[in-house]
Amino acid sequence: MIQIQNLTKTYMTKRGAVTGVDNVTMDIKKGEIFGIVGYSGAGKSSLIRCINLLERPTSGNIIVDGKDLTSLKGGELRKARLKIGMIFQHFSLISQKTVYNNIAFALRAAGMNARDIDVRVSELLEMVGLAEKRNVYPAQLSGGQKQRVGIARALANNPDVLLCDEATSALDPNTTLSILHLLKDINRKLNITIVLITHEMNVVKEICDRMAIMQGGVVIEEGQVYDIFADPQQELTKEFISSVVSFNVPEQILSETEGLLVKLLFKGAMAGEGVVSDMLQKYQIKGNFLHGSIEYIQERPLGIFIMELKGEKATIAEALKYLESRATLVEVVGNGN
């Protein structure tokens, strides 16, 4: 659906050339929700603005639904952009226009007649849950309601792609969750491809299918969200994931342990099975859970545990072999006191 090929975006500043996006290649599939994660300055916003040519790449190609946007100009480019909707962090609504007219504005710009505009705006307001707010002004809306208007406006011309640039970072956690659920519902109903820029891993964990981590304008890791959470390869990725899934055990607890400290990771159905309890009974060793949780990512369980094992050294070694045959990851992280 979206092919980004060797994309580079360079900015000229008083201090010279600065590379915002550095030779990025990426394929985003039809109908998926793809998250691009990075800290401020990583290049993620520059990348998303290049996808719809709000910023023209210095080099490389952007191919959307078979059309190379970088080769289009004038009317052809404007027509192609109609199939790419975009929502922004700070809503970008016109304060002097009602909710109805904020959405209708995009349709009038596309040349739709008044009767069809009224039908389409009514459909969109129902879709985002704001039918009763059609005649109010942005100042009368909450942040979440403003973003719902932004989503409706972005969907006005039936786009194939929806770009979201930090669309939830100005919202409180509960409102963020409601907006994410709305986006996921829209994705499922319309089969629209969503590209979501964020620095919050909770956002990615909640709705994305695949993701990429950016640093210094470069994609340093990419893959299925579940797989990256289960086995992150890069230190920055591990740092992001630790904000959502913590492996840390307080130092005071660690200082009081005497046995072997083991980190266990179980993927899929295995996360809900009694592997650890079976192991403790089978090998008659003592186990003490220090930390543990089962996270649900893409509706699949991921079990993460840190525990202390006590017993004969040889017996513990056998127990670890048993765990290795059942768990996705078994890692000794400490030897106690």
Instruction: Give the model's confidence band at 273: pLDDT under 50 very low, under 70 low, under 90 confident, else very high.
Output: low
Whole-model pTM? 0.86
Domains in the chain: boundaries? 2-242, 251-334
- CATH superfamily, with its number, for domain 251-334: ACT domain (3.30.70.260)
pLDDT above 60 (res 272): no
Q: Give φ, ψ of 50 to 5 degrees.
A: -75, -30
Q: Pick from 257, 236, 273: which is nearest to 306 by CA?
A: 257
Which range among 49-53, 114-118, 232-236, 328-332 shows the weakest confidence by mean pLDDT? 328-332
Most confident of 24-28, 50-54, 284-288, 305-309: 24-28
Tens digit of pLDDT for each residue in 52-83? 998 999 999 999 998 999 998 888 888 888 89
pLDDT at position 277, please?
Answer: 83
pLDDT at position 247, please?
Answer: 64
Amino acid 44 reads K
DSSP 81-135: HTTEEEE-TT----TTS-HHHHHHHHHHHTT--HHHHHHHHHHHHHHTT-GGGTT
Alpha-carbon separation of residue 113 from 131, 134, 204, 220, 222 (angstroms): 21, 19, 38, 47, 44
Instruction: State the chain's mean pLDDT as an integer.
Output: 89
pLDDT at position 187, please?
Answer: 95
User: What is the rounded CA–CA span in Å between residue 282 and residue 322?
Assistant: 10
Instruction: Give the model's confidence band at 293: pLDDT under 50 very low, under 70 low, under 90 confident, else very high.
Output: confident
Q: 123: which 2 tokens?
A: 């459909």
What is 2-242's CATH topology? Rossmann fold (3.40.50)
